[in-house]
Structures are given as structure tokens and as C-alpha cells.
Structure 1
């Protein structure tokens, strides 16, 4: 059995399952089948019910009652999150080979008392691939859509957004080294390779294996700022890690899909 360290959160596993097997379909899943599905990855019934309630409260799931049964479907917000994750995994990829020298910069100054707003802003910037270059100035490689990333935080008056290139005496390597912890990013990919390379340790259940694999990989790529490959070491571990992920994902897709279809109890939402 593969041991993920740390173990994936139930919400991450739930988003993974909905992203693979529900996204693009106008259906909701019964709480009972969700409980049965996640039992195979070690999530208790209590944890599943608690997670579903929290996801409803966070605007990620809608409840649909049919008689005495409760069903859960994706909200527009969840659909946007899952499509972003799908794009990061299958379109953007883990390696930035097409960088054109552009950086997006976000400067901000918030009142000292706005601790929650500052935390939310920094969390959102990190999610969007930004790193702190210096106090109050964050950068991301490429042309980041800051309006889409930060627009709902209500902080526009406190933000200054720019796009440009690095000029002497600054070097791109300095920006990468200062704003991003490349050592930690690389360590994450190496740990993924170690966890998933040994065939003797792989779960036999294809659906379980799919859920753990995709959740593990998505957590990695969402923490990866997609730094330009030309400014990273030649042996950057994201390259073999992505090849391994895609190979295993293809290997388990058909059998996991059949098992998911067997277990899913749905009602239409459209």
C-alpha cells in the first residue's frame, strides 16, 4: 500500500473524484456512495459527512434531496476550481518550456490590522504561482491573470500590478532563487517518484490507486510556480515525475472508471 506523507485531506480526495468522474456531467452523488468510495482510501464515514458539509458551506457543493436520500453536486465555483486543476495537470504541465521572459508583479500595502486579508492575499498569490521577491512585492513567471486570481478579495485599491522583464543588474536566477524555494519544490517531486516508482507497493484497487495518484500529483503541481525550465537544473525532477504520473494515470483509467461507474448512485441536476 502506498503511504502518502502527509495523507491527503478528505476534501482533496473528494475534489479529485468529482473532477475525474463527475465534472462535465449534470449529476449529483448520493452521500452513501461517496462514503463507500472513500472507505477504500481510509476515510471514515464521519470524516466524509463532515467534509461534505464543509464543502457545502464553502460553496463547493450543492445539496439535492431525493426522498430520504441526500445527494451532492458541483457548484459553479467548484467547476471552475476543477477545470483549473485539469488544465494544470493535462495542458499546462509541470515543466515550463515556453517562457518568453515575462514576469507578472503584484505590489501591495495593507493596513497592519488586516491580518486575515493579508493571509488570504498571500494564500491566493501562492496558489497563482507567485513568490515573494521582497516585502510587499510578489512575482510570477509569465502572464498571470491577476484580475481573475484576486478580483473577489476586494483589495483592488491596495494592489499595484505590473508586467515586464528582468533588466541588469538583476538576473533571472536571482529572482528565482529569492522568490521561490526550488529546493522544496524539487524535494516534492523526488518524494513523488519514490512513492510511485515501486510496483510492489502499488495498491491493487484501481480506483483507490487513481484517487491517491491524482490527489498526490495535483497537490504538487498546485504548489509549483511553473518556473522557466531554462533557469532550472538539467536534472529537474518534475520531468520524470510527470512522465511517471501520466503513465500510471493511463494504466488505471479504464478499470478505475468501470469501478467508479459501478459504485456511483446519481440523480440529474440539469
Structure 2
């Protein structure tokens, strides 16, 4: 897990929805609990400021960091993926969103950027230049930001014989790899005292949320009816929610004591 991934989870838990900026020294102290060095924290804060995710504020000799609107949007997306969308898609209506594109070899960089953004949005490649995702997905803004509107065709459709929906899912997505990631999560977090090597529940909360958000952001949210009955995301989501509730209670006083902030 990268320092930036942990940082986003920390901000989502303790800054999102509050009009505050947090003291960099507080962040360094908290991240020391998960073995992230002071240098790595300062570098992450600097990069996120440069990328327009954080605003820097000074009070006396101390430096504080607050969220920008862009960071709010990113964090709200993560919150929605965790608590509203869920890990299992039980509401599929049988439609697929298809994105077709063709970019010449000289535009390899743009092609790579488009594929990366499509994967992030839950699409998988059926064949060269054709990507699909279950349900109706809005990709207009993503394509516009890449300045590729004229190079992309988007439409929704349903599969037809001889194509089967389950075959599309396994062709476009590595379902074995997705299942393995959920199984790894279950292995790491099951038991009476998961992650016992971490010093306290604040550290465990940050790592738990980071682990889970990385999982659901890599998950294309495939329809449950196309997956095995024992799909591990179901058990993994139940475990995450149980632990998240436990740590929310026990980590809150630790965070309150550790985080120094100013009102904006």
C-alpha cells in the first residue's frame, strides 16, 4: 500500500466533511504507527499539494493541510464505493456499456491513458479496441478530459447468442485474480486479533480502509449472477464492515488525541 493510498484514507476518515486543515506533524506521528517515514509523509503531502489535492496553510511556524474541491470529489467517490455501491453487484439489468476506440501507433501514450482510465472505471477488454463494463456507465467526462471524444464510440447493448454473459465476464475480466485478492484480504484480516503487529486500532483502521478501498477500486463490480455462488467478495465485505465498525469506536479517541488542526 502506497503512502498516498494511506493518506487518502486518513483524509477520508478524519478530514472529509470537516472544514479543517491538519498539522503536518500530526500526520507524521500517525503514519509512524504504520511504518511510513517522515520523509515519505512530507513527500506525499508535497506531491498531493502540487497535484491540486491539498491546500497548504500556515499558522505561526506550523504548516497545515486542507482538502481542495478535487480531493473532496476523490474522497466522496471512495466513500461511495465503500459504503453505498458495495462489493457485489446484485442489481444488474442485463445491459453492458461498450467503448470502442482506434488510435494510431503514434498516439500510444493517449491510448495507454485511455486504457488506464477505462480500467479504473470498471471496464475490461473483450478484444482489441473494444472494452465493456456491466450496466450503464457514464464515460463522457473521462473521455473529454483526455481530449479523445472524437476517437471514441460509446453505446449500451445486451449480449445475444451465441455470446453468453458469463463468457463475456471471464473474457474481459480476470475473475480468478479478483477472487484471489479477496481471499488474500480474508487471510490478512480474519481471526480474533487481525494485524496484531500494528501498535493500535488507529493504525489498524488506516490499513484496513486502505486495503479495502484498493480492493473495491480494482473490482469491476461484476453481476453476482455471473459469478460463483461462493464468490469471496461477499464474505470479505461482511468482515470489512464488522472490523470498520469496531475500529471506528476504538480509533476515534486515539485520532482525537493525535490530530492537531485549525478551522478554515
Instruction: Verify same fold: TM over 0.5.
Output: yes
Give me the TM-score of the superposition, normalised by structure 1: 0.94
Deviations 1:192-241 (A, max 9, x none): 00000022443351100100000000000000000000010011000000
Give the distance between the partners of 1:152 and 1:68, measured in 2 at CA. 39
Structure 1 runs (4+) greater than 4 angstroms displaced: none
Distance (whole Å) between structure 1 residues aligned to residue 81 and residue 235 of structure 2 = 17
How much has 1:115 moved relative to structure 2?
2.5
Other-structure match for 1:5: none
Is residue 98 from structure 1 mapped to residue 91 from structure 2 by the alignment?
yes
Using the TM superposition, give the Cα deviation of residue 20 of structure 1 relative to its aligned residue in structure 2, in angstroms: 0.9
Match status 1:36 vs 2:29: yes
Indicate the residue corresponding to 1:207 in structure 2.
Answer: 202
More deviation, 223-232/75-84? 75-84
Uncovered stretches (5+) of structure 2, i.e. residues with no partner: none
- Counterpart in the other structure of 2:236: 241
Q: Give me the whole-angstrom Cα distance separating, in 1, the residues matched to 2:109 and 2:259.
A: 39
Mapped contact 1:108–1:158 kept (Cα < 8 A): yes
> 1:43-102: CA deviations, max 9, x gaps?
000000011111111221111122221111111111111111111110000000110001
Which residue is equivalent to 1:259? 254
Q: What 5-or-longer segments of structure 1 have no aligned partner?
A: 1-7
1:142 match? 135
Match of 2:177 among 173, 184, 190: 184
Residues 62, 75 of structure 1: 8 Å contact kept: yes
Q: Distance in 2 between matches of 1:82 and 1:131?
A: 24
What is the deviation of 1:116? 2.2
Correspondence for 1:3: none
Question: CA shift at 1:30, angstroms?
Answer: 1.1
Q: Counterpart in 1 of 2:69?
A: 76
> In structure 1, what is the Cα distance between the partners aligned to 2:202 and 2:144?
37
Superposed, 1:85-234 pairs within 5 Å as 85-203=78-196, 205-234=200-229
Contact kept, 8 Å, 1:99 with 1:228, in 2: the verdict is yes
1: CA distance, partners of 2:71 / 2:80: 14
CA distance in 1, matches of 2:103, 2:54: 32
* Offset from partner CA, 1:8-63 (integer Å, 9 cap, x none): 10000000000011101111111111101100000000000011111111221111
If the length of structure 2 is used for normalisation, what is the TM-score? 0.96
Q: Which has the higher mean CA deviation after the structures are superposed, 204-213 or 229-238?
A: 204-213
Matched residues, number: 262
